[in-house]
Amino acid sequence: MHKSKKHSELTTDIEIQGSRTGLEAVRSGRATSGRASVPRESCQDHFGLFEPQISAEGVHVWPFDASCPVEVLFLNESGRKPVRMNRHRYFEVLYLCSGSAECHIQDRILPFRKGDLAIIGSTLYHRLECRSSPPCRIAALFFEPDLIRCDGGSDSAEYLTPFLLQDAAFPHIVAAKTGVPKQVFELMLRIRSTLPASSPQGRLAVKTYLKMLLVLLVNQYASYAGTVETFHRQQRDLDRLIPLFRYLGENCGASVQVWEAARICRMSESYFMSFFRQVTGLSFIKYLNQYRIERSQFLLANTDESMVDISQKVGFCDQSYFGTVFRRLVGLTPGAYRRRLLNRTALDRGQTDHTPPMKSARASLGESPQRRPAERNRQIAASNSKEPLRKVPTRDHALRY
């Protein structure tokens, strides 16, 4: 993608729709809403907010307002409970307000420092892991690309080009020294101050600020020589794994060997192993280990099923082996993990005995994370933010078969 007359036309269009004074301030790098500070009371726990919404396919679903599918929120990331690798159908922009982190994208690990920006599309598995103390604070912008595509203008798709050109060498991190991240963050704050956009004027303002932000990214990546065909190829690769993800979601307790996974995807075993790692950034065995242990954590927290039943429901025939894998990945035995959750719940409830009935394991496994109501996700996020527990790591710690 190269700079062209079309880029200047995009900028002119933004000036007409939005505030000319505001855009000039953004271009010059002057802050339009004060320092890049993060309101502490607005920060939410990254793990608690995201992990319950990740499906067996590794897809994160955000409950957008259908009339204006844009969200800006602040997140705390401690690194003690890293969110597992996931992707999403929306586009994501992250600004690191404080601390330092690593951005894991497929099999790449990119340093993410204070003041940097991360640009993430919809086809790549990724996660963020804090590497500093105290926890990182992140400003996150999510938006559905159709909000821009449905504008009807001939240049609407060009606003999205930085999210569509993300091949294996794409520079996802925009360094603070370029000045672009601070300008983008200022526009994120403007969008946040306008949400929820309940009126036509509010929705127009949100879309205008979003387009101003996207123009900054289009100009930043103007010299990057990626192709939109990369995006379509990545989407086709993901589609080839959908039958396997669906099978794992419906048969969590079944024994799945590599050869069987390859058969489900209609590939040879050797090609499947290489293909799966290329698409998800993880080996199939590591992905399966993490998925099974994550499901067991959900059952330990939300049911009163025995350890034997839970180990069998998530695919471990031997309870002792289940305990070994669980402890290696989580850092606690299954029993200790459940006791800690129960103790935390008792403290949260002020030692009262009003705990609702446990759900059955069958109902829990059958419930798709994509279909949970947004309110339940927020409740889970609130309960998980009280005390950190180690979560399944996604690098160098999975048990190999």
| Each residue's pLDDT tens digit, 220-258 | 998 886 666 677 777 888 889 889 888 888 887 777 889
d(CA 391, CA 293) in angstroms, rounded, equals 9
Q: What Cα–Cα distance (Å) separates residue 165 from each residue in 214, 229, 277?
A: 14, 8, 20
End-of-domain residue from the set 162, 196, 224: 224
Does 254 share its domain with 178? Answer: no
Q: Are residues 189 and 269 in the same domain?
A: no
pLDDT at 395 over 60: no
Do 49 and 181 belong together in one domain?
A: yes
Residue 225 is predicted with a pLDDT of 65
Amino acid in the structure at residue 74: F
Report d(CA 345, CA 218) in Å as an integer.
47
Can you tell me the mean pLDDT for 300-309? 87
Residues 55 and 182 in one domain: yes
Provide the pLDDT confidence category of residue 17 given band limits of 50, 70 and 90: very low
Mean pLDDT of 365-387: 44
CA 321 to chain centre: 31
Residue 5 neighbours by CB distance under 10 Å = 7
In a domain, 113, yes or no: yes
Co-location of 208 and 253 in the same domain:
no
d(CA 371, CA 354): 26
Residues 91 and 156 in one domain: yes
Who wins on pLDDT, 88 or 252?
88
Same domain, 327 and 307: yes
Residues 187 and 254 in one domain: no
Task: CATH number of the domain at 177, please.
Answer: 2.60.120.280
In a domain, 342, yes or no: yes
Give the end of a domain, one of 224, 248, 267. 224
Q: How are beta strands 59-60 and 108-113 bridged, if at all?
A: unpaired
> In this structure, what are the phi and psi dihedrals at residue 140, rounded to the nearest 5 degrees?
-120, 135
CB atoms inside a 10 Å sphere around CB 71: 19
Cα distance between residue 234 and residue 136, in whole Å:
30
Domain co-membership, 248 together with 348: yes
Interval 286-293 mean pLDDT: 82
Q: Is residue 385 part of a domain?
A: no
Mean pLDDT of 306-327: 86
How many folded domains does the chain comprise?
A: 2
In a domain, 88, yes or no: yes
DSSP 399: P
Whether residue 307 lies inside any domain: the answer is: yes
Is residue 253 domain-shared with residue 152, that is, in the same domain?
no
- DSSP 8-state assignment for residue 31: -
Output the six-digit token pair for 24. Answer: 């000039």
Asked, for residue 56, whether it belongs to a domain, the answer is: yes
Query: Which CATH number goes with the domain that contains 241?
Result: 1.10.10.60
Strands 136-143, 91-98: pairing is antiparallel
In a domain, 378, yes or no: no
Residues 66 and 215 in one domain: yes
pLDDT tens for 177-221 read: 999 999 999 999 999 999 998 888 899 999 999 999 999 999 999
Tokens 């995201």 sit on residue? 50
Angle between helix 284-302 and helix 319-330 axes, rounded to 10 deg: 100
Q: Is the residue at 396 inside a domain?
A: no
Most confident of 19-33, 72-86, 109-123, 228-242: 109-123
Q: How many Cα atoms are found within 13 Å in the side-chain-facing hemisphere of 34?
A: 4
Residue in 232, 282, 240 with CA at minimum distance from that of residue 264: 240
Poorest-confidence range of 9-23, 56-70, 72-86, 159-173?
A: 9-23
Percent of the chain with pLDDT over 70: 73
If asked whether residues 138 and 282 sit together in one domain, one would say no
The answer to whether the predicted template modeling score (pTM) of the entire model surpasses 0.85 is: no
Q: Which domain holds residue 309?
A: 230-367
The verdict on whether omega for the bond into residue 134 sits within 30 degrees of 0, i.e. cis, is yes
Helix (H) or strand (E) holding 141: strand 136-143
